[in-house]
Structure 1
Amino acid sequence: MAAATAGGLRQPSVLPGFGLTLGITLTYLSLIVLVPLAALVASAAGLGWDGFWKSVLQPRVLAAFQISLATALVAALVNAVFGLVVAWVLVRYDFPGKKLVDAIVDLPFALPTAVAGIALTGLYAPNGWVGGMLASLGIKVAFTPIGITIALIFIGLPFVVRMVEPVLQDFEAEQEEAAGMLGAGRLATFVRVILPAILPALLTGFAMAFARALGEYGSVIFIAGNLPMVSEIVPLLIVIRLEQYDYGGAAAVATMMLGVSFALLLVINLLQQWVRSRHGS
């Protein structure tokens, strides 16, 4: 798009025009996103409806879906709460080592997921530091859905913190002061003034953490134990079918996972729009 100068003349913008940039955008997205997904759906369609539903409705597959969805949801909810707390502390308080804590939050982004899985397994295994203490109390973490949830919490925390943190930084303190002058307590101020302002960002962080947890593989397979019907996740089941040369079955399970992910993200996006329209964000 051309930019107008002070003298009324127009000079070319830095980027090409709308038509060219839109064409590049659509081509790039098609090659990177749409074509691979379409190929996946086409591969699953090769089984036919009967073969597709036979593949995805097996008890082992349904159990894997239940474990993946439940652990991802719990992990995202935990991250929504504690991610908000971490973001609040980083924005509202100054303390020694603050920059170090801020850098640690991004560690799951940079750390290879396999390394994270090995570290968590060594920590929470029955012979690990934490796992040994919990085992003495009769609590088993590693090789159970609890271990999967902990791994998903580890990799999902930065999404919530980094989404909420900028909103808290831009939030005007005068609104809190006005609420206090009108007699609102701290809890009422947070619930009625601060939370509505940060809720869209919090929901976005929750959605990103949830989506990442659904497809997580590397950090989970070590601590999960991969026991069918107990601690087996959907991504691992897809890999197992590929290793068994059951490409159609793997595509069917992957397509089902894709559909579930799209449906859940659609619901979350609709909820975000409702929150924005209700609170005028």
Structure 2
Amino acid sequence: MSQANPRVLPGYRLSISFTLLYLSVLVIIPLGVCVVTATQLSWDQFRAAVWTERARAAYALTFGASLAAACISAVLGLLIAWVLVRYEFPGRRIVDALVDLPFALPTAVAGLVFSNLYVANGWLGRFLVPLGVEGAYSRLAVVLVLVFIGFPFVVRTLQPVLAALDGEAEEAAALLGASRWQTFRRVTFPTLLPGLLTGFALAFARGLGEYGSVVFVSGNMPFKTEIAAFLIVSRLEEGGPNSYREATAIATVLLCASFLMLVFINRLEARSRKWSG
């Protein structure tokens, strides 16, 4: 009697068909249309649209702020996830619920709140601005709001990893004379690294595409605090004969750069899993 192939689960064809349909309709086709629209420009037109001095400044701020915010989110998210998993304290469930607040809160609301807090007469700005800390309408403001919307990705990625972490390895390291820092660096951190990189990638990708909160706190000053997403909107509002194609050209550059960065981070994550395994 022949055995059924254990690698083929019931409903496989229906499931894979639905998955491909979903990816095609909601992901591949819209992104493909964006790329095709951008290719309607000649090479000189494409380069003139995407490589102006203003566009380069917007790219630098977008990727630089997203990278800085993702690094801060990785550290902050690791600390918060560690506290929520390893310690019991009054109000722990409330703190855990507050981590998800940036997911539920409209990003425009976050931008309004941050801009009001850090202006010169705001609750925090009245103390920070005299010290030279400009938390509104500056590059620092962009990083702050990106950290606000990015750190929950790191926390939620690391929490199940920390919860499933085997405590016996840490105990064995302590019995062998390792300090707490040595145990964390050589035993715990290698296990957390793949999840930390995943959370970092999610926060970085989220920062690249953020618009609603940044548009309120950055001031949108060309060459200074203008992000690439706002530059796309500006191109659309100009209303020229090629404004839509030029906007999609800038969007295509962001799409390609984001894709390459995610591929690099995913390869790094795969290597870290191999090293930790």
TM range, smaller chain:
over 0.9
SS in 1 for 2:223: coil
Q: In the alignment, residue 268 of structure 2 is paired with which amino acid?
A: L
Equivalent-residue separation in structure 1 for 2:18 and 2:174 (angstroms): 52
Aligned residue number for residue 257 of structure 1? 254
Q: In the alignment, residue 32 of structure 1 is paired with which amino acid?
A: L
**Equivalent of residue 180 in structure 1, options 170, 174, 179:** 174
Q: Residues 101-147 of structure 1, C-alpha deviation per residue, up to 9 Å, x if partnerless?
A: 00110000000111111001110111111112111112222111100
Say whether 1:276 aligns with 2:277.
Answer: no
CA RMSD of aligned residues (A): 1.4
User: What TM-score comes out, normalization by structure 2 length?
Assistant: 0.94
Equivalent-residue separation in structure 2 for 1:188 and 1:147 (angstroms): 36
Aligned residue number for residue 26 of structure 1? 20
**Equivalent of residue 224 in structure 1, options 218, 228, 231:** 218
1:131-150 mapped onto 2 (5 Å cutoff): 131-150=125-144
Equivalent-residue separation in structure 1 for 2:100 and 2:245 (angstroms): 38
Equivalent-residue separation in structure 2 for 1:19 and 1:165 (angstroms): 33
Q: In the alignment, residue 19 of structure 1 is paired with which amino acid?
A: R
Equivalent-residue separation in structure 2 for 1:139 and 1:27 (angstroms): 49
Equivalent-residue separation in structure 2 for 1:147 and 1:20 (angstroms): 47
Give aligned pairs, total.
Answer: 269
| Deviation for aligned residue 1:16 | 6.0
**Equivalent of residue 42 in structure 2, options 43, 48, 73:** 48
Equivalent-residue separation in structure 2 for 1:244 and 1:34 (angstroms): 28
| Deviation for aligned residue 1:17 | 2.8
1:16-95 mapped onto 2 (5 Å cutoff): 17-95=11-89
Q: In the alignment, residue 112 of structure 2 is paired with which amino acid?
A: I
Q: Residues 197-246 of structure 1, C-alpha deviation per residue, up to 9 Å, x if partnerless?
A: 11100000000000000000111110100000000001111111111231
Aligned residue number for residue 201 of structure 2? 207
**Equivalent of residue 168 in structure 1, options 159, 162, 170:** 162
Equivalent-residue separation in structure 2 for 1:266 and 1:104 (angstroms): 31
